[in-house]
Amino acid sequence: MEYKEKILIVEDEFIVANDLKMILKKAGYDVVGIAASAEQARQLVATKKPDWALLDIMLKGTETGIDLAHDIKKQGLPFLFISANTNQATLEAVKETEPYGFMVKPFREKDLLVMLDIAKYKFALQQKNNTPQTGVDSQNTAFNGIVGKSKALTDVLQKIGVVAPTDTSVLVLGESGTGKERIAQSVHENSARKNKPLVVVNCAALPLSLVESELFGYEKGAFTGANSKRIGKFEQANGGTLFLDEIGELPLDAQVKLLRVLQEKEIERIGGEESVKVDVRIVAATNRILEHEVAEGRFRLDLYYRLNVFPVQLPPLRERKEDVEVLALHFIHKYASLARKNVTGVTPFALKQLTDYSWPGNIRELEHLIERSVLLCPGTEIEQFNLNIPTAPVAVTEKETPSGALLSLEDMEREHIMAALKMCGGKVFGAGGAAEMLKIAPATLYAKMKKLGIKQEYF
């Protein structure tokens, strides 16, 4: 006889709880009880020994579902949240409990069951990851192009070694310049899909009007100018991996369509009458804090949890300083070879400059610095680096550096944007935001900030 997983429902609204019970029983789950308070839930956990718990946040009594989550987590009981409350403070508190999913009320029956399937898969994957014998076999796992031996980096590679052979979605998180695309390539190269395409989509670079046609394609005659059929990125990646870079920049309308594709595993070309099945593994990346984006209404919570099955957090370079020297030497070798120059290393003074620097632009900034320095180096060693140490924003009217030299146009633009952001308290768009002050579209301002290495965290 097939074992039915036991689920405890913790919900103080009778109608919602009863609906949940009917949905779950119909899907083959064994609902072992309904609790309206945290105290009642603890009693049922102790007596009924459920396999999973579905928790509402607001319950009867003085304790919340979040309070309960901390307790049952210690007991090893996996859980999901179901709530209508998605403000930032709540989401941050929820995140600390490390749930396996978060459903937003109201929800569809199908969405609940899909979320449970994802949660169970994520839990099983985590259990496997916590088993000692499933560590990375360095002889069987290739990490081409990833340089460094710091613990922060080896922890990331350990996770890749576990998740790459599976088909689960991966969400790569980290600041700009930390190597998210390189990690996505490693996931693909160490999977069974390595001989199929890896298709890269920069969501930040997609114009709003072209998102759907780029991702899903279109039929001939679908609109004016559609003179032939176009195959979208999902179909191009069929059998392989689709890397959605800067997923946090994807417009809400496109997020809805993306979520549907991930759930149904099929796409519809614009102007098409039939659905097209696609077999695609998703790796997404962002430098944004998606919980904040969800709280602000810019990113769908259901899509976040759909993508966040296996998150990989990349450390900034300032947190892996022991890798700076080996990275610098790697880039010196690379660019000296390309430039056909006999540059082989750096002086102790130059190395100290590198290790003392905070690297706001991370590995990308280091690589660009080494490339420039190799080209300008007159000997075999780089004696010192011209590092742009961040300073407080200067008034826009200043056109000279302290040495009297004129600022470059790029530096002037950076100072101008930073001054506007400072005046707006870091607010980019909306009433009183920097985009409004500068009289440009928010998307354009975000693109300029990304290009110039300006982060909202600075304000």
pLDDT digits (tens, 9 = 90+) for 208-237: 778 888 899 888 877 777 788 889 999 999
**Do residues 56 and 85 make contact, with C-beta atoms less than 8 angstroms apart?**
no
Residue positions counted in the chain: 459
Residue 46 phi, psi dihedral angles, 5° rounding: -70, -40
Q: Read off the pLDDT band of 153 (50, 70, 90).
A: very high
Pairwise pLDDT comparison (131 vs 317), residue with the higher score = 317
Residues in a beta bridge with 201: 244
Say which DSSP state 406 is in. Answer: B
Q: Which of 179, 181, 35, 25 is nearest to 112 (CA)?
A: 25
What is the predicted pLDDT for the residue at 430? 67
Q: Read off the pLDDT band of 129 (50, 70, 90).
A: low
Alpha-carbon distance of 65 to 38, in angstroms, equals 7
Place of tokens 């549907």: 260
3-state per-residue secondary structure call for 84-107: CCCCHHHHHHHHHHCCCCEEECCC
Does residue 140 carry a pLDDT above 50? Answer: no
Query: Encoding tokens for residue 77?
Result: 């009981």
Helices 442-452 and 409-423 pack at an angle, to 10 degrees, of 120
**Do residues 277 and 320 make contact, with C-beta atoms less than 8 angstroms apart?**
no
DSSP for 179-241, written as a single string: -HHHHHHHHHHTSTTTTS-EEEEEGGGS-GGGHHHHHHEE-TTSSTT--S-EE-HHHHTTTSE
Alpha-carbon distance of 297 to 251, in angstroms, equals 11
* Mean pLDDT taken over the chain: 85
Alpha-carbon distance of 319 to 401, in angstroms, equals 31
Q: What is the pLDDT of residues 66-117, one digit of tens each?
A: 999 999 999 999 999 988 877 778 888 888 898 988 887 777 787 788 778 8
Three-state DSSP at 9 gives: strand
Is the N-terminal amide bond of 106 cis, ω within 30° of 0?
Answer: yes
Ranges of H-type helices in 323-361: 324-339, 348-356
- Residues 6 or more apart whose CB falls under 8 angstroms from that of 264 comprise 275
Point out the least confidently predicted range of 200-214, 337-351, 445-459.
445-459
Question: Which contiguous run of DSSP H or E holds residue 276?
Answer: strand 276-277
What is the predicted pLDDT for the residue at 65? 94
**Long-range contacts, stretch 68-76, CB < 8 angstroms, 24+ apart:** 68/10, 68/38, 68/41, 68/42, 69/94, 69/97, 69/99, 70/97, 71/38, 71/42, 72/41, 72/45, 73/97, 73/98, 75/45
Query: Encoding tokens for residue 347?
Result: 């002086």
Q: Which of 390, 391, 386, 320 is nearest to 353 (CA)?
A: 386
Q: What is the pLDDT of residues 21-41, one digit of tens each?
A: 999 999 999 999 999 999 999
